[in-house]
Amino acid sequence: MTWNWMPPSLPVVALGAYLMGSIPFGLLISRMGGAGDIRKIGSGNIGATNVLRTGRKGLAAATLLLDGLKGFLAVLLARTLCETGTMESMGLAAVMVVIGHCFPVWLGFRGGKGVATGLGVIWALCWPVGLACCLIWLAVAKFSHISSAGALAAFIAAPLLMPPLSEQPLHSPLPIATLLLTLLIVARHAGNIARLISGHESRIRIDAPPQGKMKI
């Protein structure tokens, strides 16, 4: 496997994936669902975890699904539409769609942390790695009751799992793109990591108080 650094389609792939990633589904769904502007509650994040803080589990699930789907589709379209440099196109789309989610131009480059979109990307790059990362995320989140711990564990595992499960060497596009995704998502969780170390990271607690709201 060798890199073909500049197939003609790469700039188009980069722009298209970025724009697809920059669609703020969490913000749009929350507004349409009557939950208001989620940037004004909780962490101010536009991702599914912050949507869940509204107590609207359905809206949070829809956000998670759509954020993951845009990552999956960006990579799938790059693989389908590019006749040359397919691996390079897939790797570039993988990175750019997550960058778009984290830094959307429409919201002043203040977006989410890339977890759901990143998992969608990993599924499209190599579904066994995507499945493994989802299971790691769910298992760690279940036992720790900390969503960020599950996400970080999943993405730290991803670059280790990608070469053997995708049967691609370390220097090929898919493992390198996976490593870049991990570095980006870990950087976006810098605050969470500091709170995990100090023991102050918020835990997932789904209660049923009289008001019917969810506490997280």
pLDDT digits (tens, 9 = 90+) for 102-149: 999 989 898 899 999 999 999 999 999 999 999 999 999 999 989 899
- Within-domain flag for 98: yes
Q: Has residue 18 been placed in a domain?
A: yes
Say if 212 falls within a structural domain: no
Q: Which two tokens stand for residue 117?
A: 């979109």
Q: Using the CB atoms, write b or e for 118-152: b if 16+ within 10 Å.
A: bbbbbbbbbeebbebbbebbeebbeebebbbbbbb
Q: Residue 214: is its pLDDT beyond 70? A: no
Q: How far apart are the first and last CA of the chain?
A: 46
- pLDDT of 91: 94
210 part of a folded domain: no
Residue 183 CB partners (closer than 8 Å, separation 6+): none
pLDDT digits (tens, 9 = 90+) for 91-100: 999 999 999 9
Query: Structure tokens of 40?
Result: 């004004």
Higher pLDDT, 177 or 215: 177
Q: Could you tell me if residue 122 is inside a domain?
A: yes
Q: Are 96 and 14 in contact (CB under 8 A)?
A: yes
Domain assignment present for residue 38? The answer is: yes
Tally of domains in the chain: 1
**Domain boundaries, position 56:** 10-198
What does the pLDDT average to over 32-42?
80
- Residue 213 resides in a domain: no
Residue 2 has pLDDT above 50, yes or no: no
Asked if the structure places residue 209 within a domain, the reply is no
pLDDT tens digits for range 174-192: 999 999 999 999 999 999 9
